[in-house]
Amino acid sequence: MTSSNHNSLSKKKKLFLSLFSTLLLVATVAAIVVGVNSHKKNSTGENNASSLSHHSHTIIKNACSSTFYPELCFSAISSEPGITNKVTNHKDVIELSLNITTRAVEHNYFTVEKLQNKKGLTKREKIALHDCLETIDETLEELKEAFEDLKLYPQKKSLYQHADDLKTLISAAITNQVTCLDGFSHEGADKTVRKALEQGQIHVEHMCSNALAMTKNMTDTDIANYEQNMIMDGNNNNRKLMMDFNEGAIQWPEWISAADRRLLQAPAVTPDVVVAADGSGDFKTVSAAVDAAPLKSSKRFVIRIKAGVYRENVDVPKKKINIMFLGDGRTNTIITGSRNVVDGSTTFHSATVAVVGGQFLARDIAFQNTAGPSKHQAVALRVGGDLSAFYNCDILAYQDTLYVHNNRQFFVNCLISGTVDFIFGNSAVVLQNCDIHARLPNSGQKNMVTAQGRVDPNQNTGIVIHKCRIGATKDLEPVKKSFPTYLGRPWKEYSRTVIMQTTISDVIDPIGWHEWNGDFALNTLVYREYQNNGPGSGTSKRVAWKGFKVITNAAEAHAFTPGSFIAGSTWLGSTGFPFSLGL
């Protein structure tokens, strides 16, 4: 190798080393810059996460502050994984609450299933556990529907309908927890099984209560803001229209008789199947016809039940919606049974006909339980199907005749007759233009027309008796002074019953209402009377309880009309039955 080549190579090597050093320096500086920027970015991200976490917790705290069990509310929701990415507003908190509650309900289901395998269970305990599985299953459906409805809030429906639907679903879920436990209250031996269930059921009840309180708080606020904006925009008439739920409602002139209204509003119905005990129809039993009905049908499935006495217990399950029972007249078509508590049933299970599927209708038919007053609780008809209505029906039994279990219901032109607590439950129900008759009980018994079961003041539930006639059956009338009869007593702590524009006979004791047990619920119940008439309607000698009040303001009474209390204008028109939405 020559000297010139060596010098040239040496120069190239120095140049390469110089360039490498420069590149290394640039890379090092770049790395430092990137590192600093990265550190800044991470630091900012951490700060954002910390800020977001604090922000989420503040939203949760604020939402939970409106509940009856705020500590349970906050701890359950804030301990959810990835909470910082899930909570940006009040609605998110409710959605999380419903999801957490659903998991707790599923856990309770497995607890009940395990208990079913326990040895030495009585007949009633087995039935009560089966009732719990049914009510738990219904709760899961209700929470699912509430969650789906909440996802669409507030765009899918009017604010008022959204609010009513959500409160109805969560109120029903609360009632189901109580119903499960109530099945174990008939005998001392039941207490062992009840104790094994109690914690889980009460936990779910409290979680549902929290979801209901937050839902009510959110919807009340949104409605108030909406109404304020309407006022500011000068749309007062529109506001009243929305509040009354009166869009498209049928209002009959006073000069059209009740009979003519029925003819005008009750069109002919074409049956899908016919039930006839003599074999001349498609089925011999009502139960077989219900089994044949499609699942979750959007079209009404009409079951024509021909004249006859059907001795069977009929269940319309949750998945069978839009079914109608069409009878040949309330004195001709009778579904009858005799299940009762004394012979080993639960109250819930004793129903001759139990309706759980929504949008159920019945017309011109009688529901009966013939167990008699000595058999204690014996239900003729239990209704839990949302938006169910009954027209020209008889509901006949003794103790616990009509179990208005949960959801929204309407009874018109019906006869309900019984003795102790004969209209009871925790639905939102209006009985309009009905005959409500106390009948002869056992010696020493008192008659109670109602026993309403609201357990939470945020539940939109209650029994409303509107434009009805409260009296006595022929067997009670001659001896009515020997058997005191009262308008109602508080089955649960926030019991709510309203009697409006009703004719009350002197079968009702002047004091009006009766306690359940000492001073239980006398301060928290909501008992109201408004513009009633008849010899038993005088209020001067009524009870002096904090929870009782005579309504003098029409606006206050209006809240309990079918239009407001059960959102009547959104669904009663589709029944084909007569109704009046207002006072």
The DSSP letter of residue 83 is: G
Distance of CA 29 to the CA centre of its chain: 68
Q: What is the 3-state secondary structure (H, E, C) of 8-55?
A: HHHHHHHHHHHHHHHHHHHHHHHHHHHHHHHHHHHHHHHHHHHHHHHH
Cα–Cα distance measured from residue 496 to residue 271, given in angstroms and rounded to the nearest whole number: 38
* Residues that are catalytic: 400, 421
Task: Tokens for 200, please give them.
Answer: 């889980």
Decide if 407 contacts 176 (C-beta within 8 A): no
| Closest C-alpha to 243, from 571, 563, 457 | 563
Cα–Cα distance measured from residue 136 to residue 109, given in angstroms and rounded to the nearest whole number: 7
Q: What is the 3-state secondary structure (H, E, C) of 78-130?
A: HCCCCHHHCCCCHHHHHHHHHHHHHHHHHHHHHHHHHHCCCCCCCHHHHHHHH
Could you please report the per-residue DSSP string of 286-312? Answer: HHHHHHHSPTT-SS-EEEEE-SEEEES
| Closest C-alpha to 222, from 72, 89, 100 | 89
Cα–Cα distance measured from residue 59 to residue 526, given in angstroms and rounded to the nearest whole number: 33
Placement of tokens 């922000």 in the chain: 55
